[in-house]
Structure 1
Amino acid sequence: MSTFLPKYIQKSIVLTISILLIFNTFSFAADYPTEWDLTKIFASESEFNDSVENLNKKIIPELEKFKGHLADAGQLEDCLSLYLEASIMSDKLYIYASMLQDTDTTNSNYQEYFSTAMDAYANLEEVVAYVKPELMTYSDNDLIQLAKLKQFEPFKNYFLSLVDARPYILAEEAESILAYATEFSEMPKEIYDQLTISDVHYDEFLNPLGETRLFDFDIDTIYFYSDQLEDRLKANDAYMKPYSMHANTIASVFIAEVQKNIFLSKSRGYDSVLEYATSGIIEPDQYRNLIKTARANATLIQQFNHIKQKSLGYEALHSSDFHLPYASSYYAEVSYEDGIQEVLEALSPLGESYIEGLNQFLQSGNIDVYPGDFKTNSQYTWGAYDAPIYVLLNYTDDFSSESTLAHELGHAMHQLYTTENQTYFDTSVGSFPSEATSTLNELLLLESLKNKADDDELKLFYLEKEIELYYETFFMQTILADFEMRVYDEAEMGNPLSLDKLNALWLETSKDYYGDRVILDDAYQYQWMQIPHMYQTFYVYSYAMSIAASTAIKDHLTSEGDAYQKVYLDFLKSGASSSPTEQMANLKIDLNSPEFYTTLFAHFESLLEEMDQTLEALKYYDTHPALDYLYTPDEIKRAYKDYDALKTESTASSGDTREDPDDALYEALGYGLLLFMLFIFIYSIVITILYVSKSKKLKQLEREYLHASKRYDPFDDRF
């Protein structure tokens, strides 16, 4: 250090810097918060209630005054500006209340928040029911001309969408009735969530110690990996028991969801629920083409399952065997912090700007990371137009969680770019383009990790995961989409739905894809009940279409590099300002080209061939080492004994309130060290202040000191 400062000042500076470094260490550890901060939306209950009151008692009554006057351009502008404000506020209330409820589904206060938000939303929709009908009194040409005016720029695409939607907009009275019905439209999903998250419990289960206890997910699921088929079947039956026990109720709730959607689609004049649900996103023919193409290539699923069957050495593969390891025994344990770093590295092909924005989001406190006792089991990205974007995870320190992190961050960045560059009415991105961005992140993560793999086992692990990603994202989601289409086709033809009918449709659909290579066990018939996306009508298809698009985007990034980064960022910024077909065209992807799916099928087939050749070369088909990954009855019994011992030890330690003398000593030393650091910190400040007051030459000395250390700025006003 420079000799221009006295030694006691130098020492005080060193101590101060040391303390600041210590504090900085703690600060650095908290760079990636693990709980979201919803106070950024509403700081308190009173602020939430004030917004509700402002919406209900001020804005909504004001909106009523414009009724019958929208033929006047001035009145129209004022009305739409207020309508925009009300819509944004209503979204904030609803999203905030929903996310609160998702953190604790048993909290009655949060349920009241949600009910209040839903009431406000329904009130708004009921009052503004006149807006669309009055706007529809304008001719299509008039609406197109209004869209060109500067004062209506925020509503440009809204006006144009009305031109497209003209056949489906009803008279004012009918719109008012449908708006009122909105209050009830979410009830099937709410009932399903309450039933499957809060009110459904596992049944009794006989463990290998001869004890009958409630099924414990933490230990009883070890039977999923038993080397005995009978044990795997028993565990799967127990795991699905909450659904089979409540099967009639869950089926009735889903049938209510189906009938609700049929009512809404028919009320508006759509030919089908499929057309209604995908309007403005994709064409119904594109959906049915996905199903048709996937069915035609179902042999790829059968080829995949045959590889698994050969690797395990089984005479037949059961649905209870779907989750069994067949290639790599590697378990990737990935902490949240490590996962972040690997994701950031993997997404570098998207460019510096993307990575910089992503890192800022990760540090924003807008991600709720870990599971909670009554937290919803969903994982999603959500946010209001003038509020932060939030991500909900259930991170469990494994590769699956890391992949989900990459997936949801794709959604988050898409929403961030969209809200920063589009007006409110152009931010509702459809599910297909939205899922394309998130699935791309998963593919990039896998490619990065596979390229870094430094041994054969790790490479095999990531090859297996890449196959699973395509299998689960394309084929599994297409099976669900196919099942959903069959359900609605049956209902719209007037055929009655029931529990038996729904289960039969699910089994029929599955057999069309799995063929004769897989035995579908009894518990499998209830598996469709586990899918919450069934209450997001015709949504799951978007996963399948998205991975086809993501594969194409990744290929363009690889071949075109930096030039394509701008193309991709422009796509993220475009939001919902154009149709998905147009957006994909801008990404150099033709949704109507046969290659849209054939490229994916060819890539998946090449992965299967690589896996088949690798397992053959490693003698997996002869020695069946995958069986070594499974648990014998004796190993399972020992695991139960160890688990019980750990629980007993944990209970005993939590009940022992005696103070350990060593703990008291360490605590005293800790407090002493903290006080000493605080004293030194204050001492250094006091000494520095005293020196400043006594020395007239301090500024010159400091200037010389900073100059000597090459940190002096002659234009700094401090000097």
Structure 2
Amino acid sequence: MQSLSKRAEIDEKYRWNLESIYATEADWEKDFIAVAESLPGLEAFKGKLGESGKVLFSCLQRQDKLMLQMEQVGVYAHMRRDEDTTNTPYQALYDRAMGLWSQLGAAASFITPEIVELSDEKLADFFKQEPQLELYRFALEQIMKMKQHTRSAEVEEVLAQTWEVMSGPSNIYDMLTDADFKFGTILNEKDEEVEVTHGRYISYLESQNRRVRQDAFKTLYATYAKYSNTLASVYATSVKADIFGAKVRGYKSSLESSLKPLNVPLEVYSNLLETVNKNLPTLHRYLRVRKRMLGLDDLHMYDLYVPLVAQADRKIPYEEAVETVVKGLNRLGETYVREMATGINSRWIDVYETPGKSSGAYSSGSYTTQPFILLNYQNNLDGMYTLAHELGHSMHSFYTNKNQPFPYANYSLFVAEVASITNEALLTDHLLGQTTDSALRMYLINAELEKFRTTLFRQTMFAEFEYETHRRAEEGEALTPDLLNSIYKELNVKYYGAETVVDEEIAYEWSRIPHFYRAFYVYQYSTGISAAAALSKQIIEEGDPAVERYLQFLKSGSSKYPTDLLKMAGVDMTTPRPVQQALDHFADMVDKFEQMSLQTV
């Protein structure tokens, strides 16, 4: 049986450089203690923020200093845990960091309530008294705008103390699915016994051998079905936490509580669902092409990921993927490419899957550190695109941290996926421009179609699931395993059922989506790909002017509301137009792909 290499067996150059944050855990401990011992200094400002602009500025500066240090402590502990989620000392490190985050939140909880108690006139006078307070003008405007949702200092302190408890469902889910779950084994194409893991699952679904695809599919979901009662309870608790947070702050719904602080209109969410639903016939047309090309009488859920152009399927080692991605992003300019390449060589990236390593991929880091990327790299096109995707996140963070003061360095979730998906679009354009081989071109267009299917359509389906589960829970309905399975199965029937056999096992897929523990996050993949489609088109067609607007967007962090940042870059997400334009692009690609497929018959 093929087994994963142990972490110690992986060459250092393929492991991220967490020692650049703390050379030893003793150094981490010093910062941990320093934050803990500094909390009383922040709390000393309690009840005094209305005294003068100087006092308010001093308090905000003290808070920033603590947040900077705490952020570094937290990301180090988080990434150490994710190296091996079965490592109990790292679990303890992470738990301690989360506990300290909660303490810091409680210590700072008086700040927002005291600020919203200031009159507009008094705050304006504070700006005159203390010119340095200008740094926080936009941040303070955001706080004042949320005045009706801010509670008293006492209530805010209690809410801050609940943060660690409220994150419990997500932590339980991670430990259960990453550390405890064992999915069993299947026989691969060579009849060798291989383990089914998070990282390998999609590669099995991409197998040209249908038996392998079906076995992997059934094996994986058998485990999720076995624990469906536990997983439903964990998810239901997470939804209840979302609803509690919304109610206690006076929001009409948990959806509003997620969107309103970012000044994102609720119509952005509803426009997305409505626009995608109107265009489902285009998805169904693509699925008909897929079924015909695979030569199947019935298209099953485990047939959705296999590449349709087998002769163009090839292994892409990590080094080749790096080289291709760097070349593919040349349109963003020499400086961008040079800084990205330097980052890769500075061990930003933890490359390969190892036992106990957290599944999936993400970009992390803090204002005071280099960016970091967790991968579970597989030697295929999807692995290369994941690399490009996460580098988009990291370069966004790199430019934001380099150009914004700390208060505006954390860009919002609404724009978080734009840079990553723009990277993917530019990579596709580069690859298509490098080959005249019809099979490879078909392969790349198929990959682009799959990106839209799995990002714009599938993530919108996820968003619809989140909307429905939160709506039902807000109306008092219990989120039982049967109900969750039913909601998810019906959505799959709507999105895929016209051309696909919706297998019973897919009803459990909701329980393997970790993003559901960050409520109303997934819709931003769909809005992100829509914005990225528009921006990448501008970059390709306009050149330097569009690149300059785009780089300015990357440098802007959270210095403006997210929809305003995108308008500055050239996209208005408050209208359905970008989503429809992206879907029109998908329809055009389906036309091209279908014509090419008929010519090869």
- Give TM-score, length-normalised by structure 1: 0.78
- Residue 60 of structure 1 and its aligned partner are, at CA, apart by 0.6
Change in 2 beyond 3 A, CA 1:421/1:112: same
Structure 2 counterpart SS, 1:518: coil
CA distance in 2, matches of 1:253, 1:274: 20
Consecutive unaligned residues of structure 2, counting only runs of 5 or more, are 1-9
- Residue 205 of structure 1 and its aligned partner are, at CA, apart by 6.3
Quick one: which amino acid aligns to residue 279 of structure 2? N
Structure 2 residue 173 is the aligned partner of structure 1 residue 192: yes
- Residue 142 of structure 1 and its aligned partner are, at CA, apart by 3.3
- Residue 314 of structure 1 and its aligned partner are, at CA, apart by 2.4
1:70-81 alignment runs, 5 A limit: 70-73=49-52, 74-81=54-61
CA distance in 1, matches of 2:440, 2:206: 23
Structure 2 counterpart SS, 1:477: helix
CA deviation profile, 1:586-637 (whole Å, cap 9, x unmatched): 1221223443122112111111111111111111xxxxxxxxxxxxxxxxxx
1:207-218 alignment runs, 5 A limit: none
Counterpart of 2:272 in structure 1 is 290
Counterpart of 1:423 in structure 2 is 405
Structure 1 counterpart SS, 2:109: helix
Quick one: which amino acid aligns to residue 476 of structure 1? R
- Residue 235 of structure 1 and its aligned partner are, at CA, apart by 4.1
Structure 2 residue 124 is the aligned partner of structure 1 residue 140: no
Structure 1 counterpart SS, 2:364: strand
Change in 2 beyond 3 A, CA 1:44/1:540: same
Structure 2 residue 412 is the aligned partner of structure 1 residue 433: no
Counterpart of 1:264 in structure 2 is 245
- Residue 115 of structure 1 and its aligned partner are, at CA, apart by 1.6
1:573 to 536, 540, 555: 555
CA distance in 2, matches of 1:373, 1:207: 20
RMSD of the TM alignment (CA)? Answer: 2.5
- Residue 304 of structure 1 and its aligned partner are, at CA, apart by 0.9
CA distance in 2, matches of 1:579, 1:242: 42
Question: In 2, are the aligned partners of 1:154 and 1:424 still within 8 Å (CA)?
Answer: no
Question: In 1, are the aligned partners of 2:178 and 2:358 still within 8 Å (CA)?
Answer: yes
Question: In 2, are the aligned partners of 1:144 and 1:160 still within 8 Å (CA)?
Answer: no
Counterpart of 2:17 in structure 1 is 37
- Residue 558 of structure 1 and its aligned partner are, at CA, apart by 2.0
CA distance in 2, matches of 1:209, 1:434: 41
- Residue 110 of structure 1 and its aligned partner are, at CA, apart by 0.7
CA distance in 2, matches of 1:219, 1:449: 26
- Give TM-score, length-normalised by structure 2: 0.92
1:495 to 477, 489, 506: 477
Structure 1 counterpart SS, 2:368: coil
2:378 to 393, 396, 410: 396
CA deviation profile, 1:15-74 (whole Å, cap 9, x unmatched): xxxxxxxxxxxxxxx9993211112222222221111211112x1111222222222223
CA distance in 2, matches of 1:329, 1:224: 13
Counterpart of 1:278 in structure 2 is 259
CA distance in 1, matches of 2:45, 2:202: 62
Structure 2 counterpart SS, 1:365: coil
1:540-689 alignment runs, 5 A limit: 540-619=522-601
Structure 2 counterpart SS, 1:381: strand
Change in 2 beyond 3 A, CA 1:464/1:129: same
Structure 1 counterpart SS, 2:46: coil
Question: In 2, are the aligned partners of 1:327 and 1:615 still within 8 Å (CA)?
Answer: no
Counterpart of 1:62 in structure 2 is 41
CA distance in 2, matches of 1:345, 1:411: 18
Question: In 2, are the aligned partners of 1:70 and 1:134 still within 8 Å (CA)?
Answer: yes
Question: In 2, are the aligned partners of 1:101 and 1:111 still within 8 Å (CA)?
Answer: yes
> For this pair of structures, how many residues does the alignment match?
587
- Residue 544 of structure 1 and its aligned partner are, at CA, apart by 0.8
Counterpart of 1:166 in structure 2 is 147
CA distance in 1, matches of 2:293, 2:190: 31
Change in 2 beyond 3 A, CA 1:62/1:221: closer
Counterpart of 1:303 in structure 2 is 285
Change in 2 beyond 3 A, CA 1:374/1:147: farther
Quick one: which amino acid aligns to residue 362 of structure 1? I
Change in 2 beyond 3 A, CA 1:226/1:50: closer
Question: In 2, are the aligned partners of 1:328 and 1:464 still within 8 Å (CA)?
Answer: no
Structure 2 residue 362 is the aligned partner of structure 1 residue 383: no
2:442 to 460, 464, 472: 460
CA distance in 1, matches of 2:185, 2:11: 44
CA distance in 2, matches of 1:125, 1:219: 39
Structure 2 residue 92 is the aligned partner of structure 1 residue 112: yes
Structure 1 counterpart SS, 2:552: helix
Counterpart of 1:92 in structure 2 is 72
Question: In 1, are the aligned partners of 2:113 and 2:153 still within 8 Å (CA)?
Answer: yes
- Residue 312 of structure 1 and its aligned partner are, at CA, apart by 2.4
User: Could you tell which deviates more after superposition, 149-158 or 259-268?
Assistant: 149-158
Consecutive unaligned residues of structure 1, counting only runs of 5 or more, are 1-29, 620-719
- Residue 343 of structure 1 and its aligned partner are, at CA, apart by 1.0
CA distance in 1, matches of 2:153, 2:376: 44
- Residue 285 of structure 1 and its aligned partner are, at CA, apart by 1.6
Quick one: which amino acid aligns to residue 289 of structure 1? N
CA distance in 1, matches of 2:337, 2:203: 38
CA distance in 2, matches of 1:206, 1:345: 38
Quick one: which amino acid aligns to residue 243 of structure 1? Y
CA distance in 1, matches of 2:453, 2:206: 20
- Residue 201 of structure 1 and its aligned partner are, at CA, apart by 1.4
Quick one: which amino acid aligns to residue 329 of structure 1? Q
Counterpart of 1:6 in structure 2 is none
